[in-house]
Structure 1
Amino acid sequence: MCLPGDTGSGPNSRNASTERGKEREPQSDTSDSETTDVRKINQQPSHREGRHDPNRYRLHFEKESREEVERRKKRAREKILEPAAEADLEIDINDIYPPEKGLDFPRRPSWHYEMTREQLLRKEEKLFGEFLETLHSKNPPGSLSHFEHNLETWRQLWRVLEMSDVVLLIVDIRHPVLQFPAALYHYVTNELHKQVILVLNKVDLCPAALVLAWKHYLSSLFPHLHCVCFTSHPGQPYSTAYSLGCLFSSVCISSVDLSSWEQKIQRDAANDCQEGELLEEGESVLVEHYSDVAMEMVNSSQELYKDGVLTLGCIGFPNVGKSSVLNSLVGKKVVSVSRTPGHTKYFQTYYLTPTVKLCDCPGLVFPSRVDKQLQILAGIYPIAQLQEPYSSVGYLYERMPFHAILRLKHPNGEGEDGEAKWTAWDICEAWAERRGYKTAKAARNDVYRAANSLLRLAVDGRICLCLRPPGYTPQRG
C-alpha cells in the first residue's frame, strides 16, 4: 500500500509589525507568536527602482492571540477524539452567511471622470474602513472567518465585475457553501444584471450522488444560478471537454459570435485535451495587462459584450482550483498553479478566441462565519501560517477517522478494551513516527510538521472530507 506523499514544512510566518516588511526566520513550534491584530503574509522582496510595489497585494488576515493558541494546544493533548454524527457533516449556507450579521462585501463607491485618481482612492479607502467597522460591530470578536483585509485585492474584484459580461464563480465541490457568498450572487444578478455560472470544481473527489445533491440544493436556493460540474482530472465523467461543452451551452449569447469558441471546444474534445498538447503548433494566447490607472478608472457602466466580445470573469476563493479551470478553458498552462492562497496577485485577461476572453480575479476570502478548523481544511487559511494545527487535525479525524488508512500506531499502545483512544496530539505524533519526522535539535517526533502534513493531505483531497447539504443523510438512507 502506497501512502500519500508529504509536502509539509515548518511555519514560515512574516513580521507584520515591522514597517520595512523584513522576513522572519522560520519559527519553531514553541516560539513566541506575533501580537499585532492584522497579519500580512506572502511578503515579496522589494525593488528600490521604479514605482511597482510587489507587496501591494499581500494577504492580510486577523491575528490570533497567543493565549488562544496555547489553549488549543493544551486541548489537543488532552481531549479524547470521538466520532462525530453524520448530521454534523451537513452544512447550511445560511449558517455560513447569515443575512442578519451584515456579511456583505465592500462595494466600489460611485465616481465620475472629473475625479482625480487620488480622490477616487481616498473615497475607496473611506468606504472600506466603514465596511470593516460596520462588519465588526455586528459580529463578536473571533466569530468571523479570516477574510481578506487588503483593500487592493477587493479593488481587483471590483474591476473584474465591471469588465465581465458573465461571472464564473468557482467553488470546491467538497465544501461549496463555504465559498459561495450569497451577497455576491445577488449583487451581480440584481444590481449589475449579469449572469452567474457556478463551477463545481474537483467533482472527481466526491461521490456522484453528493455532487447531484449539492447541485440541486444550490439551484433551489438561487433559481437564476447555472451550475456546471468540472474536473481537470482525465477519464472522469465531468472531465474538461465535457465540462467545457456544458459551460458553452450555459453562456450562449445571441449578440456575440461564439462559433470560434465552439470549434475550439470540439477540437479539444477530439484531441482528448492531453497535457502538453493542448494547443496546436503555432497557436498562441493573447494576454492583456492593465496599468494601475486603467484599473482604477474602468467605467462601471460599460456596455455588455462591447465590440462583440464576451468577457468571462473568473472569481473564486483560494485553493478552489481556479487556476486549473482557467488553464483548461484556455487550453494551455498560462496560469501557474499553487496551493498557496493568494498565489494570483492581480487580474489578467486571456483571449480564448477572437470573441471570448477570460478575466482572472485574484483569489480572495469573503467575510463569513466559518469555523477556524473548516477554514483550514478548505484551504481558506494558509496552512504554512498556522501556529496551532493540531485542533484542525482532531476536527478532521472526528469526521473521518483515517488512522487505519495511514496505518498509524498509537504512541501509547492499545487501551484496556483493545481499542486505542486517540487525541489530536497522538495522531500527529503517530504520523511523525510513521514518516520519520524528527526535530533538528532533540531528534524528537516533529508533531508540528506531521500536523501540517496531514492537513495538506486533506486540502489536496488525499484524505477527502466532503461536507453535505442539509437533509442529505436521511435522503441517502
Structure 2
Amino acid sequence: MPRKVPFSSKQKKKQLQGKKKAKCSNWHDEDSEEHGCNDINGGNSGKTVEQINQQPESNRVGSSRKDLNRYRLEFFKDTKESIEKGKKLSTEPHETLPEESLEVNIDEIYKPGTVLDIPKRQSWDYSLKKEELEAKEEKYFKQYLSNICQEHSLGTLSYFELNLETWRQLWRVLEMSDILLIIVDIRHPAVNFSPALYDHITKDLGKHVVLILNKIDLAPPSLVTAWQYYMKEKFPELHIVLFSSFPTHTDLSIQNPGTVIRKARKKRRSTAMGPKELCRVCGEIMKGKVDMSHWEEKIKLQMAGKEPCVVEESDEESEMVTEDCEENNNLMEHKNEGIVTIGCLGSPNVGKSSLINGLNGRKVVSVSKTPGHTKHFQTIFLTPTVRLCDCPGLVFPSLMNKQLQILSGIYPVAQVQDPYSVIRYLAQRLDIPKLLRLQPVCDSSWTAFDICEAWAQKRGFLTAKAGRPDVYRAGNNILRMAVEGKICLCLRPTGFSKMKEFWEVHQETMKLIEEVQQFKPQVNQDSSEGEEEDLSEQESSQERAIGKDKKVGRLCISNPFSLLEDEN
C-alpha cells in the first residue's frame, strides 16, 4: 500500500473551511429557488432571504440506511444585527402595558381565507406508484411555500413547519381518524388553534372536531369559561372539552391570570379531569355505532383510584406505527369494524402525549418539555373498541410575532439567541421583578437586562472565567419558567378585561370550581404530605422502606418484613 501523505492540522482546518463555504453557497443558490423565496416581496432582485428552518438532507442515492433525522428541524441563528438590536433595547426602560394588551384576536393571527392555509394531501389512487405520489406531493409543497413567501415577508411571517415529512404524518392521521381532537393550551388557545385546519376537517373531510382546552390548572376558572364561549361562538361546530392531567394542583382562589408564579407540579399520582366528558362527547358523535361501555368502565375504575386492566391486544388489532408507516397506503380502510379512531392534533408543547397518558391512566407514550419530541404518529388502543392516534406537533403558518411563539412553547427556547427581547415583551405585561422577588440592581427603572442580571445574582448564575452574572443563562431560565407555567402569561379573548367581573361570577365558572374540588390527591403512604415522592440517591434502603407520617406522628412501614432482618 502507498504511504499516506502527512496532513497537518492547518491544512485540515483550511479544508473544512472550504467545504463549509461551498455548502453555504450551494444552499443559497439551490434551496432559495426551491422554496420560491428569492426575494422578500416576490420580485426578481436576486437577493436571497434567510430561511426560518431547513429541510433535513435526504440519504445518498443507493444507500439502504434509514434516515433517522428526516423529522428533525434545523434552525438558523439570528443575525448579528437583530441580536445587537435586542441587546440595545434590553438596556432601555420599558413601559408597563395595560391589561388589554393580553387580549388577542384569532383572526389577526391566522387571517382566515388568505394564503395562510395548510398544505393538503393531493388526490391519489392505488394505481400511482410510491415514487410518483411522493414527487407529486413534493411539487405541490414547493408551490405552497412559494405562494406564502410571495404574499408575506419573513419579517411578518411566523416560524412554521417546513418539513414535508411531518405534514405527511398529519395527512395520514386525518385519513385514518373518525374523530379529530384539536388540543390547545388554555394559556393561549388562539395561538394553538388553526382556523384553516378546522375548515379542512369540517368542510373538506366532513368529520367532527373536538376542541380540548388542556392544562386548565394553569389558568383561572373565569378565563377558562371565557375562552370556552369565545371559541364556541367563532367555530359553532366545535365540541369543547376541558382537560387537566393535574386538577388537584390548581389554586382556584386566584382570579388574576398571569400574575402569580405557579409551583412545580408534584410528582404524585393524580386522576385526570376530562376523560368522562370526552367519552360522553365521542359517544354522542358516534351515535351508538361503537360500543363505549369498556371506556366508561375504565373511567369509573380510574375515578375510584383503582388500576384499570391492561387491554390484551392481538397482532391484528394493534400495531405501533413506526417510521416505515408511509409504506402502508391502505390507511383509509379499518381492519376491524366497530372500532373508532380518535386522532390527537395540535401545536408542540400543548400536551397531546400527556393527554393520551391521562386517558389511559398510565404512561403509554413518551413526553418531554422540548417541542417536537413526538417524531411520528403512533396508535394506542385505549379499549378494544377505541383507538387513539398521537400525531407529531405541527406549527401552522401565521402572523404571530416571534416573542409570543417562544413564550407559548412553539419555538424551542434552546434555539433562542436573543432572550432579552422576549424578557422585555414579558415584563411589559407582567410585573416580573415582583413575581421573582428581585432586588434592584440600580436606582433607575427596571430594564430587561437588569431583570436578567438580578435573577442571575439571586440564582448564582456566574460566568466560568470572569465570575460575572451570567445574564444569558438567567434570561434562558426565565423563559423556561414561562413555558412550563411557573410564570403564567395567560392570553385573553377580545373584550375579557371589560367583562372580567361577569366571567368571575358566571354559572359555568362556579360549576368548574365545584368539579375541580371533587378531585382529591392520592398520596402514597411512603410520601409525606406536601413533599415530592422522589428520594435522593444518597438515601439508604431503610429510608426508602420507612417514611414519617407527619399527620398522625407514627411510622408507616411500606415493607412489613424489612424489620425481620435485625433478628438474624
Mapping of 1:8-407 within 5 angstroms? 37-39=51-53, 51-61=65-75, 64-77=78-91, 79-99=92-112, 101-235=114-248, 240-252=271-283, 253=286, 254-271=288-305, 278-280=307-309, 288-290=319-321, 294-299=325-330, 302=332, 307-407=337-437
What letter corresponds to residue 368 of structure 2 in structure 1? S
1:308-335 alpha-carbon deviations (Å, 9 max, x no partner): 1000000111111111111011222111
What letter corresponds to residue 134 of structure 1 in structure 2? N
TM-align CA RMSD: 2.8
| Whole-angstrom distance in 1 between the partners of 2:123 and 2:344 | 23
Mapping of 1:459-474 within 5 angstroms? 459-474=483-498
1:175-209 alpha-carbon deviations (Å, 9 max, x no partner): 00100000101110111111110110110111111
* Inter-CA distance 453–318: structure 2 relative to 1 (3 Å threshold): same
- Count matched residues: 432
Displacement of 1:110 in angstroms is 0.9
* Inter-CA distance 115–49: structure 2 relative to 1 (3 Å threshold): closer
Which of the pair has more CA radius of gyration? 2
| Whole-angstrom distance in 1 between the partners of 2:89 and 2:113 | 32
| Whole-angstrom distance in 1 between the partners of 2:380 and 2:63 | 29
What letter corresponds to residue 322 of structure 1 in structure 2? K
Contact 1:168 1:198 in 2 (8 A): yes
1:121-177 alpha-carbon deviations (Å, 9 max, x no partner): 111111111110111111122111111111110110001111100001110000001
Contact 1:62 1:146 in 2 (8 A): no
Displacement of 1:19 in angstroms is 7.2
In the alignment, structure 1 segments of 5+ residues that lack a partner are 1-15, 21-34, 273-277, 416-420
Contact 1:39 1:63 in 2 (8 A): no
Provide the identity percentage: 49
What secondary structure sits across from 1:95 in the alignment? helix
What letter corresponds to residue 65 of structure 2 in structure 1? R
Match of 2:469 in 1: 445
What letter corresponds to residue 250 of structure 1 in structure 2? V
What secondary structure sits across from 1:83 in the alignment? coil
What is the TM-score with the length of structure 1 in the denominator?
A: 0.84
Match of 1:430 in 2: 454
Contact 2:184 2:212 in 1 (8 A): yes
What letter corresponds to residue 234 of structure 2 in structure 1? L
What is the TM-score with the length of structure 2 in the denominator?
A: 0.71
Contact 1:101 1:139 in 2 (8 A): no
* Inter-CA distance 117–19: structure 2 relative to 1 (3 Å threshold): farther
What letter corresponds to residue 410 of structure 1 in structure 2? P
What secondary structure sits across from 1:374 in the alignment? helix
| Whole-angstrom distance in 2 between the partners of 1:150 and 1:179 | 18
| Whole-angstrom distance in 2 between the partners of 1:92 and 1:305 | 43
Contact 2:119 2:167 in 1 (8 A): yes
What letter corresponds to residue 165 of structure 1 in structure 2? D
